Amino acid sequence: MILTVTLNTALDITYRVRGLSPHATHRVTDVTERPGGKGLNVARVLAALGHEVTVTGFAGGATGRAVQDQLTRTPGVVDALVPVEGATRRTIAVADASGDTTQLNEPGPLIAPAEWSAFQEAYAVLLRSASVVALCGSLPPGVPVGAYAGLIRTARTFSVPVLLDTSGEPLRRGVAARPDLVKPNADELAELTGSHEPIRATRDARRRGAQSVVASLGPDGLLAHTPEGHWRAVPPRRFRGNPTGAGDSVVAGLLSGLVDRLPWPDRLARATALSAATVLAPVAGEFDRQAYEEMVGQVAVTGEVTAA
């Protein structure tokens, strides 16, 4: 079982408009709602690929109930969210006809100390049957900034590999706890290391504690630095569309490749193709399966294996 942790779950709402202009009234042509937050997006992609996934984190209020109601109708995904008093946040994406998207993200509910303790207990139980865990996204108010570092250490006691996908101070502290893999984007990597040169920055992130680093470079693909070697994966062409969730699909591809025991170049090809196919999907957080299947063999992966 793959476990994904989304401490700041969300109800993702996408509005489609013909064009977006400041200070104007807009007519919405279409509205979609679905469970959101990075780990839930990852879980949905993994389930579509045929993996068994359990999701945990927090859920509360009417939006939390809406998230859980939809999760029960998602094949392959098991809901293990922990209830809280506060209301789960909403994220609003406004997509216009050109493919540009404007994102509005609420901060999330205030998590009480007792709720955080209840989550940690539930997390430890779930780890007993997990093959890998992904810790994803921002922290809601009330959760300690070092939360991910603690969850990484807990996973290590159960010998469960950890992928970390967050930013800012939670990323810095999490990297110091030595996760198996971190997946920052270019800006997050630069903030962590102080370097805007991706190759140097990925190496520095490993020196800070991450065992492997896969940096998401947007339309330029992925850059990986691991104990087994270093590689660059580039999609066959640039794609225009909605990038929301593309980084989460990278995480799903990396996790899928790990549990399928693929070599690193094949993992990176899968993750890159999934990311591009997510940009092409009509709804944020989904992926175009036909595009994915066509692209996965067209991703150019270059690099070298580290000598033993």
Q: Can you tell me whether residue 79 is helix, strand or coil? A: strand
Residue at 120: amino acid letter = Q
Residue 115 sits at φ, ψ, to 5 deg, of: -70, -40
d(CA 273, CA 276): 5
248 is catalytic: yes
Where do we find the tokens 């196919």?
277
Gap between the Cα atoms of 48 and 76, Å rounded = 8
Residue 108, CA distances (Å) to 91, 102, 237 in order = 10, 19, 37
Select from 167, 198, 165 the least CA-distant residue to 275.
165
The SS3 assignment for 296 reads coil
Phi-psi region of 170 (alpha: psi -120 to 50; beta: other; left: phi over 0): alpha
- Of 79, 180, 248, 288, the catalytic one is 248
Q: What are the catalytic residues?
A: 248
